[in-house]
Homo-oligomer: A and B are copies of this chain.
Amino acid sequence: MPDTSTPRTELSTLGEFGLIDRLARRIELADPSSLQGIGDDAAVIDPQGLIQVVTTDMLVERVHFDLAYMPLKHLGYKAIVVNLSDVYAMNARPRQVVVSLALSNRFPVEAVDELYEGMLTACRAYGVDLVGGDTTSSTSGLVISVTAIGAAKKEDLVYRHGAQENDLLVVSGDLGGAYMGLQVLEREKAVFQQDPNVQPDLSGHDYILGRQLRPEARQDVIAMFAELGLRPTAMIDISDGLASEAMHLAHRSGLGVRIYEEKIPLDPTTISTARDFGLDPTMCALNGGEDYELLFTIAQGDYDKVKGSPHFTVIGHMTDQASGYQLVDRHGGQHELRAQGWDAFLNKG
């Protein structure tokens, strides 16, 4: 929420066409496939001969975000990015988003502007048009629903179900950072609630805080695939944690999967912060979620294309279905992979 020194304009002061026009004025459609944006019963898209992909995600206040430490601009940015990540995970290029908001009248117009500013900043950064949406009242918290639409040639699409036995399991970037960023924010919030005179201590945590508050979707990875002439056999984005996503790939492909703990890429800050919190860094990567990295499988014959890349890490391989979902620890011990992210999340409500 903006501090009390900023002007507060009640949402109800905007007239019939007010809120829609206000938003529409700030938007210039950039992609030639966007024929009609906000202002009609529906947006209009010219597929230009490409296949369309569609994905949707809902963010709910006090479940997915806490406005105590999440600035509205960052929240808007993140709401767009998490959807674009799903489009990249199909090896497609996002071109349009539509956005629905439910907000209570505790939000002034200025707050809605900030939220949209974050969304539009993300749209510009990723070359995506905001072409429609719905804005409505809420009797309690803020709910943001984003649907992203992307395009690809049919032969370029990558599904979750395409992995083959012995394919290598590869991940972009590093894992667990977003989760550790959240832990730091939660800790400082608790300290602040006990004593509002204590300033939050966020020093030294820039990287993991950025991972939580301003995640990016890996459009660069999709571009690298094109450059490398690499087509993953299966792919998923990591929103719920590595364990859950690896199991999704295996499940949909009718296979098992084996991940080697020592290979899981972790940033040094993630490791040191996890230790400070008495947490196992590997568990943070496996179950933390919100890293928005891409997890994909490639044929062994494509290994040379990712070898030595600072962007990619081979963390395991696909096995036959009967071998199940396995984690091999640093001492060679085998453990059954478990996905705790999703269930823990549903139990929050």
Chain A residues within CB distance 8 Å of chain B: 11-12, 14-17, 19, 35-36, 39-47, 50-58, 60-64, 86-87, 89-90, 92, 96, 98-105, 131-134, 136-141, 143, 145, 147-150, 154, 157, 159-161, 235-237, 244, 247-248, 251-252, 339, 342-343, 345-349
- A12-B343, A136-B60 given; A40·B143 CB < 8 A: no
User: B45 near A147 (CB under 8 angstroms)?
Assistant: no
Shortest CB-to-CB span from A176 to chain B, Å, is 19
A44-B158 Cα distance, complex, nearest whole Å = 11
- A247-B16, A347-B12 given; A40·B137 CB < 8 A: no
A44-B154 Cα distance, complex, nearest whole Å = 9
- A42-B53, A47-B47, A47-B51 given; A349·B139 CB < 8 A: yes
Give the residues in chain B near A136, CB-CB below 8 Å.
58, 60, 63-64, 345, 349
User: B12 near A138 (CB under 8 angstroms)?
Assistant: no
- A63-B136, A349-B138 given; A56·B11 CB < 8 A: no
A42-B235 Cα distance, complex, nearest whole Å = 11
Chain B: which residue is nearest A88 at the CB level?
A: B41
Complex A-B, nearest 3 residue pairs according to Cβ-Cβ distance, in ascending order: A137-B349, A145-B145, A42-B55
Shortest CB-to-CB span from A14 to chain B, Å, is 8
Give the residues in chain B near A244, CB-CB below 8 Å.
16
Q: Contacting A45 at CB < 8 Å: which of B40, B54, B140? A: B54
User: A45 near B53 (CB under 8 angstroms)?
Assistant: yes
User: A54 near B131 (CB under 8 angstroms)?
Assistant: yes
A133-B57 Cα distance, complex, nearest whole Å = 7
Identify the interface centre among A16, A39, A132, A154: most chain B CB within 10 Å of its CB. Answer: A16
Further pairs besides A35-B51, A41-B236: 7, Cβ < 8 Å: A12-B343, A16-B247, A16-B339, A39-B161, A45-B54, A56-B133, A102-B143
Chain B: which residue is nearest A99 at the CB level?
A: B56
A176-B212 Cα distance, complex, nearest whole Å = 48
A47-B105 Cα distance, complex, nearest whole Å = 40
A147-B53 Cα distance, complex, nearest whole Å = 13
Shortest CB-to-CB span from A348 to chain B, Å, is 5
User: B58 near A143 (CB under 8 angstroms)?
Assistant: yes
Q: Contacting A47 at CB < 8 Å: which of B52, B89, B348? A: B52
Identify the interface centre among A133, A147, A347: most chain B CB within 10 Å of its CB. Answer: A147
User: A92 near B60 (CB under 8 angstroms)?
Assistant: no
A35-B35 Cα distance, complex, nearest whole Å = 24
User: B96 near A137 (CB under 8 angstroms)?
Assistant: no
A268-B50 Cα distance, complex, nearest whole Å = 50
A46-B54 Cα distance, complex, nearest whole Å = 11
A57-B227 Cα distance, complex, nearest whole Å = 39
Identify the interface centre among A44, A46, A103, A237: most chain B CB within 10 Å of its CB. Answer: A44
User: A42 near B89 (CB under 8 angstroms)?
Assistant: yes
Q: Contacting A46 at CB < 8 Å: which of B16, B51, B63? A: B51
A43-B149 Cα distance, complex, nearest whole Å = 9
Shortest CB-to-CB span from A242 to chain B, Å, is 14
